[in-house]
Every structure is written in structure tokens, then in C-alpha cells.
Amino acid sequence: MKYSRLTKEQFEELHQEFINFLATQSITADEWANIKEHKPEVAEQELDVFSDLVWEGVLTKAKFIEHLSPQQMHLFSLEDNQIRLIALKLQNEQDITTKAGYQWLRDNLLSDDVEIFQANKEYSEDKNSDIFKLIQQGGVITKGDLFKYFDKIIG
């Protein structure tokens, strides 16, 4: 398995897609029930293969990832050949994950209490694995509004 198995909730959300996945392998509902009961290791493999297919699709389409914590913000733009990072670090006790803390950040962006970093990193041999690692570390796929906002300001 290349990524991680989808959660029970994710499988429930993708129920129809999983049925279609099994159908592409000519596995009927009755056959699937039989596989789960008599060949659980084969069922596990099918769940893993489906999970990897879903992850590949999601990671290929992802354009932005955000990772926020109370004093830091890491904003990633997933470009064709590299990842661009805008990172903000607070030198005080504000919590930018709250509405008030984020407003403070916007009002005090250029103060000495806010450090701003930018970096670019080329992908390794496996772009989607690089993106998946960001998600495993707490990143969330987004539409990139925060990245675009701060990119304009510091650009």
C-alpha cells in the first residue's frame, strides 16, 4: 500500500465508487460478500488498492495545502515542478487559529512579532508522495485563499 487506507467514514462516502471499482474487476455484490467472509486477506488487498486509487486522484488534483497551528501558518502551493511555501511565525502568544488571533495577524503583519519566510522545494521522484507527507503532517487540501492572500501582500 502506497498511502493509507481510507477510513470507514470515507469508504461510506465513496460507497458507489467502491461498487464501481469492484465492477471493473467483475466482482459482484455476492462475490464480494463471499470474499469478505472466506478470503479476508483478499478483501483487505482490494480495500488497499481502492484507497491508493482514491489518494492518487486526490493528490493529483490538489493545488494548495495549509497547515495551521496557534503560532505558525504554513501555506503550500503545489506547482508543476516544485512546492512553494509561505510560512508565518508569531513571536507572541496570539493564536492565529482563532478569529481574533487571525485578525490580529492581518492588522500586525508587518510588525516585529511576525516572521515571514518563503521557500521553494523541487519534488522528489514521486510528487504525490511528497504531497501526501504534507497531509500526514497535518496539512489540509484547500482552494488556496490564504496562500493567494499572503502571496499578494509579500509578493
Over the chain (155 residues), the average pLDDT of each successive run of 10 is 94 94 93 94 95 96 97 97 96 93 91 95 96 96 96 87
**pTM for the model:** 0.87
pLDDT at 145: 96
HSE, side-chain direction, 13 A CA sphere, residue 96 = 22
* Cβ neighbours of residue 31 closer than 8 Å, sequence gap 6 or more: none
For residue 85, the model assigns a pLDDT of 98
Alpha carbon distances (Å) from 101 to 61, 70, 72, 108, 116: 31, 9, 11, 10, 16
Taking the C-alpha atoms of residue 72 and residue 85, their distance in angstroms, rounded to an integer, is 13
pLDDT at 155: 74
Q: Specify the long-range contacts of residues 120-124, CB closer than 8 Å, at least 24 apart.
A: 120/82, 120/83, 120/84, 120/85, 121/82, 121/83, 121/85, 122/81, 122/82, 123/81, 123/82, 123/83
DSSP state of 5: P
Provide the pLDDT for residue 110: 87
Give yes or no for a contact between 92 and 114, defined as CB atoms under 8 angstroms apart: no
DSSP 7: P
What is the C-alpha to C-alpha distance for residues 115 and 131, in angstroms, rounded to an integer? Answer: 25
pLDDT of residue 154: 84
